[in-house]
Amino acid sequence: MILAILAFIWGYRKGRDSGRSGPLWSAICGFTFLGIQVVFSLAAGLLLGIGAGLYGWDVKIYDQYSILISLLSLIPAGLALWLIFKYLDRIPDESLNSMPPPPPNFRGE
């Protein structure tokens, strides 16, 4: 839970420091971190459920390995957060147009 809170805080800081919307990037970072953990845990539960149904594994196998699954889910969540931070480290390009474009010429000259 502490890492999820830190993901929200770091996302806000990185977004703000790079000239982007801090609250938006805070939400993107935090919910990506949490969402990937949930999806990873659901996938692990689905695979273990299929194994229990097809191969006769113990029905309580998810309960036995829940701590390991939670720790392993931090790896893809941290990787996704790192990729978002790499994107936020890039400074947005400034517009090179200092003057407005000339008015259109409709006479064909």
Range of the domain at 52: 2-89
For residue 17, being part of any structural domain is answered with: yes
Q: Is the pLDDT of residue 84 over 90?
A: yes
- The pLDDT tens digits of the residues spanning 23-71 come to 999 999 999 999 999 999 999 999 999 999 999 888 888 899 999 999 9
Q: Which own/partner contact pairs does 37-46 have at CB distance under 8 Å and 24+ positions apart? A: 37/70, 37/73, 37/74, 37/77, 40/69, 40/72, 40/73, 40/76, 40/77, 41/69, 41/70, 41/73, 44/69, 44/72, 44/73, 45/69
Residue 66 lies in a domain: yes
Q: Look at residue 104 in the predicted model and tell me its pLDDT.
A: 85
Look at residue 102 and tell me if it is in a domain: no
96 pLDDT band (50/70/90 cuts)? low
How many domains in the chain?
Answer: 1
Q: Average pLDDT over the chain, rounded to whole?
A: 89
Flag whether 74 is in a domain.
yes
